[in-house]
Amino acid sequence: MGEFAAVDVIRAKRDGHELSDAQIDWVVDAYTRGVVADEQMSALAMAILLRGMTPREIARWTAAMIASGERLDLSSVTRPTADKHSTGGVGDKITLPLTPLVAACGAAVPQLSGRGLGHTGGTLDKLESIPGWRATVSNDEFKRQLQDVGAVICAAGEGLAPADRKLYALRDVTGTVEAVPLIASSIMSKKIAEGTGALVLDVKVGSGAFMKDLAAARELATTMVRLGRDSGVTTVALLTDMDIPLGLAVGNAVEVAESLDVLAGGGPADVVELTLALAREMVAAAGVDADPAKVLESGAAMDTWRAMIRAQGGDPDAPLPVARETEALRATADGVVTAVDAYGIGVAAWRLGAGRARKEDPVSFGAGVLLRVKPGDRVTAGDVLLELRTDEEGRIPAARDLAAAAVTIGEAAPARAGLVLDRIT
């Protein structure tokens, strides 16, 4: 690998030039090894944000991030593998019912998940509200559980795309999180390195999503699908609506409880709809012949959930944590709920203690928001619109203001498009 001066690579991108394969390979490797300093990578990340990257550059950058660590070899797993990645939203607990459902259909689901930051929740935080459950598994345990149970949800090991871990933390504090080439390569380097054969991307669009508008979400989805395909992973993306929270529960333990309702054959219609839409995509991409709706109805997905939780030390029968303080927010007038703003509800849940401001912050497992209404519902003055839950009473006032502003009551609710806005292949 040739040696370059970091400042020359920064200048090249700053001036709008295309970086060579050799430059990209060197800078990602040198940054991982600590030869390129944080301030230099910060400058390069900002140049990438402002100048963009060609598809060739993004593909090479992703390959360099994968090459910074190990690639899992899942060839010992006899079932076809399929994974899902969501770009994050409010009430987005879909991984919880989806993973055991797809496994019960006959695929193996190697689900490497993350923690929440800001207003979007993290799958690992939700699962850690189950007594005894642990997020960390060794590579050998990961493969064994995939073979035996068919599903594993865990934290990515230290060895997978270490360049990404370093760069992710840096982007967070330098205002470069929004760069599409860096988002796409961050997500796809981990997913390709984990060794899955098929991948379905759930790219959220709307107020509670990272991507607020359809064009930006489509660009990201198209970029990631191309990266997956070029790496030999069957990849499909769905663009899905995140203007209103998914389901009725936003938090950690409350979202686990709602996921269990779905696995038991109930649960909110939108959560069931999106779980089934993604499950159909995953089984098709993996080449498995099964009808997820029938498998869900049979109770097989619940059996797989229990086996998956138990395999990682959790007790599927243990009661979930419940917050100490509860406050109901009531309608002040008669009318129809016209909007429930996902971002406002997400930030309210975060203020109640369900999320974290910094990576090292703890989360409160019982905290969150329980919605009692969705857009289109008719309400009378005095009806409960939502419930705030927290372990610290002092957190309620700020959350109350946010949550109250998030629910709009008017004459009639506007017509809404379906949950799935587009499909990118």
CA 321 – CA 391 distance, rounded (Å): 10
Only one residue has tokens 């709809």, namely 273
φ, ψ of residue 48 to 5 degrees: the values are -65, -40
Annotated catalytic residue: which of 164, 202, 241, 243? 164
Q: What are the φ and ψ backbone dihedral angles of 318, each rounded to 5 degrees?
A: -70, 145
Q: In this model, does residue 172 exceed pLDDT 90?
A: no
Query: Across 177-186, 245-254, 407-416, which has the greatest mean pLDDT?
Result: 245-254
Residue 289 annotated in active site: no
Q: Which CATH number fits domain 6-52: 1.10.8.80, 1.20.970.10, 3.40.50.2300, 3.40.50.300?
A: 1.20.970.10
Q: What's the confidence (pLDDT) of residue 29?
A: 96
286: nearest Cα among 93, 151, 96: 151
Instruction: Specify the residue for token string 């997500």.
Output: 187
Q: Where are the domains of the chain?
A: 6-52, 82-311, 325-410
Q: H helices of 86-213, where?
A: 95-105, 123-127, 139-148, 162-174, 180-193
Give the length of the chain. 425
**Residue range 158-175: mean pLDDT, rounded:** 88
Active-site residue among 42, 113, 185, 186?
186
Q: Which of 13, 126, 165, 171 is catalytic?
A: 171
What percent of the chain has pLDDT above 90?
A: 87
Q: Which of 13, 60, 79, 85 is catalytic?
A: 85
Note whether 377 and 332 are within 8 A (CB): no
Q: What is the DSSP string of 308-328?
A: HHHHTT--TTSPPP--SEEEE
Predicted pLDDT of residue 1: 59
Domain at 82-311: CATH architecture: 3-Layer(aba) Sandwich (3.40)
What is the mean predicted confidence (pLDDT) over 14-25? 97
> What is the topology classification, in CATH, of domain 325-410?
Aldehyde Oxidoreductase; domain 3 (3.90.1170)
Helix (H/G/I), strand (E/B), else coil: 355 = coil
How far apart (Å, rounded) are the C-alpha atoms in residues 110 and 98? 12
Concerning whether 389 is annotated as a catalytic residue, the answer is no
Q: Which of 190, 204, 218, 372 is catalytic?
A: 190
Report yes or no: 109 and 143 within 8 Å, Cβ to Cβ: no
Q: How confident is the model at residue 360 (pLDDT cuts 50, 70, 90)?
A: confident
Spatial distance between the Cα atoms of 389 and 120, rounded to a whole number of angstroms: 17
Please give the average per-residue pLDDT across 219-227, as a whole number.
97
pLDDT tens for 365-400 read 999 999 999 999 999 999 999 999 999 999 999 999
Q: Is residue 159 very low, low, confident or very high in pLDDT (cuts 50, 70, 90)?
A: confident
298 is catalytic: no
pLDDT of 2 strictly over 80: no
pLDDT in tens, 52-61: 999 999 999 9
The answer for 255, left when phi > 0, alpha when psi is -120 to 50, beta otherwise, is alpha
Domains 82-311 and 325-410 share a fold: no
Q: What is the maximum span of the chain, computed from C-alpha positions, in angstroms?
A: 70
Q: How far is CA 411 from CA 216, 331, 337, 371, 416, in A?
A: 32, 14, 8, 20, 16
Q: Which residue has the higher pLDDT, 415 or 341?
A: 341
Q: Is 171 a catalytic residue?
A: yes
DSSP state for residue 85 in the 8-state scheme:
E
**Does pLDDT of 118 surpass 70?**
no
Average pLDDT over residues 146-158: 92
Q: Is 190 a catalytic residue?
A: yes
